[in-house]
Amino acid sequence: MNFFDAQDRAKRATRLLVVAYLVATLIIVAGVTFVVALAVAGSSYTTAGPLNTDNTGLLVTVAIITATIIIGATLIKTAALSTGGSKVAIAMGGVPVHPDTQDPLRRRYRNVVEEMSIASGVATPEIFILEEESGINAFAAGYTTNDAAIAVTRGTLERLNRDELQGVVAHEFSHILNGDMRLNIRMMGVLYGIMVIGLLGRIILRGSRYGALSSRRSKNAPAFLIIGLGLAVLGGIGVLIARIVKAAVSRQRESLADAAAVQFTRQTSGIANALKKIGGFSDSSYLTAKDPEEVSHMLFGEGAKLASVFATHPPLVERIQALEPGFDASQFPNVDAQARQRASAGVDEGVSGFADATPGTGVPTPVSGTVGSATADASMPTPIIETVGRPTPEHVEIAQNIRESMPKSLYAAAHSTNDSYLLTIAMVIDEHDEGRQMALVAERLGRDRADRVKELADEMQAAGRHVRLPLLEITFPALKQRPLPQLEYLVDLLSRLIAMDGKTSLFEYCFYAIVINGLDQSLDPTAKPRPSKLSRKAVRGAVLDLLRILSRNGTDDDAAAEAAFAAGIAVLPNWARDATLGAPHDDEAATLDLSLKLLNALNNDGKELLIRSLSATVKEDRKTTSVEAELLRTVCAALNCPLPPVASAHRQS
């Protein structure tokens, strides 16, 4: 299943959740209205005989108020959770992993997350540890790929080796890439909205009992008891329905994430052994410091013991057998005994076999292995379209190589709250216009910080262009720690530096677009969704302009550009058959920007077709330049279709 299929399945799951939510809401509204009618009737009968008056107006009001409470609570909770995955992680007791940490377990954890981020083509998520949790578990939270956070328990770091940790992180990245996080946020909002009615019922019951004790002759006590009891029961029924739907949807997504983790890492042993350790560990994957119910569907393993109908994950043995068909429950390792044995020998289980590759110290051993029964064949490159949202082991290997080849000083700057800001500015300093650009930096930031920008810019130019975008992706978590006004100031300064020479190169545009895409949740948390209706003519024109720009920038030869354009056109429907390459655009960056804004309105089928066309254009001459690779990644980022590093471009660099 490719990225676009996964997105469509997430949308179908969302529709199922909405239907279940509406059904539960209607049941609760009808039930509450009936309970209030009984309470009013009972109260009237005891005080003035049988009820004879028409209470239709009252009951309609009750129904409207009940629906408003449920929907309002859902919207408020969803809005609160949509402000960033870090809020969910912190609410669960998560502690940020400091970028400069020297702890080997935390450093290894950060390295694995950053490598998976580079391999996936998304901004590095914020990284957390649940320090009070000794079980083996993890989750990813957020509303988009740009505000995601990953959290693992302390037990995960202490009990798993690097391969197992990589399998768990790859599982969580699958949730980030497949659109599961947004679905999970909506589930939490739905559960909360329905649960509010039950909470109100319990509050009324407690108040009724207190009132009965203080005033046993209260005429309204029976009515309040009926209403409170009815709300508590109805709220419980609603939560029951929502939990069953949540469990059914979540089990399917977890199975897909397990399979994706194997695809990402090219070996089953990492995630399979992590699951085995959960089964053989007395603490299992359970969370104890916080109530896991609200986030149970987001976790790598079960957060608590639940009845099978409410279980948000397939049975543990079933998950392992999907990876290793011959596994039997009797083969679970005794993790507690192994930990005691290793502790007595003075060996930290989580660090055993750990070789933390420091940036600038060399190239790692290439990844090798098999996926199921199919042997991995590096000679058969994966088509670009198939890698969207689906990094391959080669991309993970490329990511390791890139991270480890980064100069130590630049890598450290990317993790510094202060230097990450200056590093981002250094990335747009052009050696041909450096004097004027540095003068503006000094004017806006002061001489000391301008000197630091110059130092970083010199190191960046020496390191090579291929490290810039990966460094930028690693920089985002530190950048987002800055106050919003400072981020707005940064974006304004970048735009001024880029426009200083009166023209915007494609690299400058790509860089600026990725900065905006990575910071958009911080710059504009209430951003409106893209427009739903655009003229077909405008969209088709944007597609052709994009193909023309890509064709011309992939080669200096006009005939080769014509052939590349024709290859891209051949993938499109008949409406594009008569299109010609034409003359170069006067302002390619402006044309590209307008095209991407229009094409963001495409549905998944349209986006998939567009990327197939772009891929055909790039592959026409059987080589991929760095300009083509950057353009492809920028286009895919603008379309919210994360693209890993283009492997052929890195093999040539």
Active site positions, annotated: 172
Helix segments in 415-446, DSSP class H: 417-426, 434-445
Question: 560: closest CA among 506, 623, 510, 613?
Answer: 623
Whether 170 contacts 2, CB under 8 Å: no
Say which amino acid occupies 493.
L
In the structure encoding, which two tokens stand for residue 170, read together? 């790859």
| Number of residues that this document lists for the chain | 653
- Residue where the block lists tokens 């099978």: 308
Q: What is the DSSP letter of 500?
A: T
Distance from C-alpha of 373 to C-alpha of 532, rounded to nearest angstrom: 44
DSSP category for residue 130: E
Tokens representing 51?
A: 């009820």
Q: Which residue has the tokens 């949308």?
A: 11
Report whether 243 contacts 310 (CB < 8 A): yes
Q: How far, CA to CA in Å, does 427 sit from each of 453, 509, 601?
A: 9, 12, 30
Q: Is 284 helix (H, G, I), strand (E, B) or coil?
A: coil
User: What distance in Å separates the CA atoms of residue 592 and residue 510, rounded to the nearest whole number?
Assistant: 10
Question: What's the DSSP call for residue 299?
Answer: B
Measure the CA–CA gap between 293 and 303, rounded to whole angstroms: 7
Alpha-carbon separation of residue 543 from 121, 564, 609, 617 (angstroms): 22, 14, 10, 12
What Å distances lie between residue 119 and 21, 296, 396, CA to CA?
37, 28, 5
Q: Could you tell me the CA-to-CA distances from 349 to 34, 85, 156, 270, 360 in Å, in that order?
A: 59, 30, 11, 15, 27
How far is residue 141's CA from residue 94's CA, in Å, rounded to a whole number? 12
* Unique residue bearing structure tokens 């693992």: 152
Residues linked to residue 128 through DSSP beta bridges, in sequence order: 96, 151
Tokens representing 308 are 């099978």
